[in-house]
Chains A and B, each alone.
Chain A
Amino acid sequence: MNFEFSEEEEMFRDSVREFSERYIQPKWVEVDESNKIPYDLIKKMADQGLFGIPISEEYGGMGGTYVMTAIAVEEVAYYDPAVAIAVYLLLNNGWPYALELFGSEEAKSEILPKVVSGEAFFGIASTEPQGGSDVAGIKTFAEKKDGVWILNGEKSYISGVREVTELPMGGGWFLVAKTGSLEWGHRNITAFAVLPKWNGKLKDGFKPTIYEEIGRGGLSTGGFILENFEVEDKYVIGELNKGFYHVMEGFNLARILVAAACVGSARWALDAAMEWLRNRKLFQDRRLSSFQGIQFKLAELYADLEAARLFTYKAAWLADKIYKEKAEGYNPKDLNIPVALAKMKAPETATRIYEEVLKWHGAYGYTKESNVYRGWIGTFSYTIGAEGAQNIMRIIIARDLLGREYVRG
């Protein structure tokens, strides 16, 4: 057993740290306030090779590991604790990698190099107005006519809607739709690479809306209606009617990175708080850090953060065993519990840390000037949903522990 990063992983972590300190830290508040990640920053991240970390070199990627991808997301979130840039990074690594695992050669060769170069965005579109956790209940429908898939339906609470329309190349999503019948169930869902804007051109049948969110401002969330939207056969991801299983594997991969983002943001919050505790003096020149009430809480929060971090990297390590090394005896289902633990633990830990840190800062913590609230609201989005609701994580853990047949009512 080895809990150390390898030398390359450490070097990579330091390089992402240096990059983030130089280019992200000075911008994170502006990004959060302006609701936009400037394109020159996206381009810089691309030039630094941050969008293709786990992607194979034949598609322009870095050929790195999933542990390295998690490292990059954690470090970027440390310097962008509001997490919009970190989430842009994680979506643009996790879902392109899922495309590499299951997509057609033609789609991969066409899409992945453009994502890696920063010209295009590729995220996930599964949630619909009637709900996000009930993937088997989606209503978006795809049928094949004259060799082309025609998609109709509505997706909501989707990250990157504005980015897809504004990036020079465009982009789209790993999108799931019913194929065959509209009945509730897992076996009539197919995944598609849906690219409403590609080669700089917006396609017909795509009607986007942008929502106004309370935090994580730099990355847009929105919805879109697909009306007779045409998708070529080469963009079918994986096997027909197996999309549910493919998207679940994609969610497992993305959830690891969501956890990494929350860990990075929370690490910043604790570091900033400790600096405050060491220097803030009151009650006749006593340091705030000298009060045991605060020390006890700090120790508990740190323990939770370390636990979340260990869950996260164990899951990333396991993803490498399964997908990168293709090690004997490991299969994708092995990821279910480790990933659910990380995704359950990290966002909840992060928001709890922020809540305490905000209180330690007293009235100043409640001002916009302190910026602590930005990380609080940003990480809070992941306690609600996004890549899977918290109680879905609990269901996964309990179901796999007890056995499927024992959890049915």
Chain B
Amino acid sequence: MKILVPIKLSLDTSQIKFDESTGEPIYEAIPKKISDADKCAIEEALKIKDKYQGAVTVVTIGSTKDHYRMLRDAYAMGVDEAYLIKYDSPEYIPANQVANIIKSFFEKHGPYDVILMGQWSNDTHSSSLQGMLSSLLNYPLMPNVDKLDFDGTFFIGSSNMEDGTYTFKAKPPLIISVSTEANLPRIPTLKDILRAKKMPINELNISDYIESIGKLDIVKVSRYVVERLRNIIKIESEDDVAKAIDMIVNVLKGEGLI
């Protein structure tokens, strides 16, 4: 089975630092890493490979040292091929064009039986790529699975939605997006890392995959601030606790929260 995993280098949102005066992120101080859900997608692909054999390919768009490192990390996890479609500002490529680039990659290097991808990236959370790719490739989409099994013929995935847990079943070819709940990605050993060092990172020109790139400007990113009511209810003695609870309940009811 041939599996393609498109991956994205994103901001490590656990380490975001904001400029106190402007409220904007200090990008140069934020480490970059593979999107968490993309890493889980690689893990799912490798689990299938471990059990049923096959080949796992990862592809990303970018050009920085961090992009090379991300692909090296994917090799250390155990993927078979890593491709870097070179472009200096991948964060400004609109999602529909990313989808077209991946489609073009699929046609030149594929076909692939399964495309496994992260539900969303750490930094934009748009979840748009999976649907676009499904449409462009005419592959069914098993969306946002928290648990995935493959019995050799069928994929069975379950997804926890607000209205309940959905269980899907489908045969390849298909696209599956996975959440960070799907697994705990493997951590490469030193041997894996030393082996990965010898693997080639295949560099590709973006112009071979798309004619022209439009730019989606990100005009401003600012810290999301939750406005607090700071409603303080004071009590004089322990005897007033019950009264205070009633008052809190009334406030919450007034806000429509309960």
Contacts and interface: CB of A to CB of B under 8 A. Distances in A.
Contacts of A8: 193-194, 197
Interface string B171-195: 0000000000000100111110110
Residue picked from A11, A57, A64, most chain B C-beta under 10 Å: A11
B191 A62 contact: yes
Contact of A7 (B72, B188, B189): B72
Contacts of B190: 12, 15, 49, 53, 62-64, 68
Contacts of B133: none
B194 A64 contact: yes
Interface in B189-215: 189-191, 193-194, 196-197
A102 interface: no
A15 B196 contact: no
A197 B189 CA distance: 29
Interface in B67-90: 69, 72-73, 76
Contacts of A68: 190
Given A11-B73, A11-B76, A48 B194 contact: no
A7 B199 CA distance: 14
Interface residues of B, number: 14
A15 B194 contact: no
Contacts of B194: 8, 62-64
B187 A19 contact: yes
A134 interface: no
A11 B189 contact: no
A53 B193 CA distance: 12
Interface of B: 69, 72-73, 76, 184, 187-191, 193-194, 196-197
Interface of A: 7-8, 10-12, 15, 18-19, 22, 48-49, 53, 57, 62-64, 68
Given A8-B194, A11-B76, A57-B191, 7 more contacts: A11-B73, A15-B76, A15-B187, A15-B189, A49-B191, A62-B194, A63-B190
24 contacts: A7-B69, A7-B72, A10-B69, A11-B72, A11-B76, A11-B188, A11-B193, A12-B193, A15-B187, A15-B188, A15-B193, A18-B187, A19-B187, A22-B184, A22-B187, A48-B187, A48-B189, A49-B190, A62-B189, A62-B194, A63-B191, A64-B190, A64-B194, A68-B190
